[in-house]
Structure 1
Amino acid sequence: MLKEERQQYIISQLNIHNKVLSTDLSAQLDVSEDTVRRDLNELADLGKIFKVYGGALSKSFHYPFSAREVYNKEGKKAIARKALGLIESGMVLVVSGGTTMLELARMFPEDLYCTIFTVSPLVGIELAEHPNITVNLLAGRLELNSHIVTGSQVISQLSEIKADLCFLGTNGISLGNGISDSDWEVVQVKKAMINAAHKTALLCISEKLDSSKRMKICNFNAVDYLITDLHLDSALIEKYAAKVTVI
């Protein structure tokens, strides 16, 4: 594979998953980690990605308030609009982070009354001016790579919450390997979020379907709803629709 092809693959994976690990890219591209690191350094020098220890972040994830940089923004807006249909006034919600969750936070109607617990300071800021929503930002260590708070303090707080619905983002989803991510601390927080809610809705752009990361959050049957940007008549959606309610 040519260098240009490798680098385009890296950017594609960053757009979809927001974060990539050098070790994973080395295996996927069948090249050495030194080659991957050189590619990441070149892309970072060109301003196309943000290099971090062990991998890289997409620019849209690093600066989630920048509409210009958000990958598949219209698809994420479509997912957010669908997610709104699950919310009723009076609900208690647990909300994770990410650019799709930010789009959801921006769409909450002003006449909606609910209580929200979130591990994302950015989601909390988006909702702060809403006239009828009580926003509770859970306290913990802020992770630069994920923009959510993690750690035992967060997990302890989540264990005391009995929410109606959890809105969860993920980096990997497949019927065989379930819901997965690449960060151990984030995985533990997302497990606690699922346990804190009566039902869980997974918000996921279609490019993440049939993909897996190294660390498992839960089996697929732990999710009640899958909300994506595909239509129900999509062949890719059919196999998921047999296992979960797809919106």
Structure 2
Amino acid sequence: MLKEERHAFIMRQINLHNKVLSTDISAMLNISEDTVRRDLKELAEEGKVLKVHGGAIGHSFHYPFHASNTVYAQEAKQQIAEKTLRLLKNDMVILTGGGTTILELAKRIPENLRATFFTISPLVALQLVDHPHLTVISIGGQLSRSSQVHLGASVINQLADIKVDLCLMGANGFSVQDGMTDSDWEVVQVKRAMIRASKRLAILSIAEKLNSSQRMKVCDLNLINYLITELQPENHILTPYQHLDMELY
């Protein structure tokens, strides 16, 4: 595979999953980790990615408020955000994760909505805090440089003390075979704690992430109440999910 093809593959994986690990790219492309590290170094020098321990993350995910950054599949994420608004009702207690799709939702919260938002994302909290009728509570802990959310035992302990009406989170990997998956063990633990703290769970995901898997399991699909994508529910891409016990939006 040519270097340009490798770079294009790596960028697509980062755009889809926000982060790549050198070991995973090495296995997927059947190339050495040294080659992957050189590729990531070149992409970082070109300003396309940010290198982190063991891999790289995308600029738009790390600096979503920076005017020069474009959000991958932003139009699709905006459509998902608009659909998600249907689930929000007055006086709800809502818990959110982080990521660019959740940020698109936070920008669109109607001014007349009265609700309480808990979030593990400081970026989401900052987006919501000026809303006139929302109570915004940030669940704090160690801030992850790669995922831009609070992680660790402190977060898990705080989540154990609340019960929310609805949890909104993104998915890194999502498939019928493997359920919802992620590549970061600490993120997995926090997502599991978020699910335990919630009466209902909505997953916000662009369709490109469907039928993909990461290394570590978050949960089975039977724990998910809503799957929200940019597609119409009857779209053939959603066929594997149409007969499961979840509502498609």
Same fold per superposition (TM over 0.5): yes
Match of 2:237 in 1: 236
Match of 1:14 in 2: 14
In the alignment, structure 1 residue 246 sits paired with structure 2 residue 243: no
Structure 1 position 56, deviation (Å): 0.4
* In structure 2, distance between residues paired with 1:121 and 1:178: 27
Match of 1:167 in 2: 168
Match of 1:136 in 2: 137
* In structure 2, distance between residues paired with 1:47 and 1:183: 24
Instruction: Render the CA deviation track for 1:197-242: whole Å, top value 9, x for unaligned.
Output: 1000000011100111111110111111000111223211011121
* In structure 2, distance between residues paired with 1:38 and 1:154: 35
* In structure 2, distance between residues paired with 1:178 and 1:137: 28
Give 1:245's aligned amino acid: E
Structure 1 position 125, deviation (Å): 0.3
Match of 2:114 in 1: 113
* In structure 2, distance between residues paired with 1:229 and 1:26: 31
* In structure 2, distance between residues paired with 1:59 and 1:241: 34
Match of 1:187 in 2: 188
Give 2:13's aligned amino acid: Q
The farther-off stretch of 66-75 and 2-11 is 66-75
Matches within 5 A, 1:1-247: 1-66=1-66, 68-243=69-244, 244-247=246-249
Give 1:246's aligned amino acid: L
Structure 1 position 66, deviation (Å): 3.1
* In structure 2, distance between residues paired with 1:7 and 1:120: 30
Residue ranges of structure 1 left out of the alignment (5+ in a row): none
Structure 1 position 65, deviation (Å): 1.2
Residue ranges of structure 2 left out of the alignment (5+ in a row): none
Partner SS, residue 88 of structure 2? coil
Identity of aligned residues (%): 53
* In structure 2, distance between residues paired with 1:241 and 1:196: 26
Structure 1 position 41, deviation (Å): 0.8
Partner SS, residue 85 of structure 1? helix
* In structure 2, distance between residues paired with 1:81 and 1:65: 20
Partner SS, residue 135 of structure 1? strand
Number of residue pairs aligned between Structure 1 and Structure 2: 247
TM-score (normalizing by structure 2) = 0.97
Give 2:134's aligned amino acid: I
Deviating 4+ runs (over 3 angstroms): none
Partner SS, residue 163 of structure 1? coil
Structure 1 position 172, deviation (Å): 0.5
* In structure 2, distance between residues paired with 1:215 and 1:152: 19
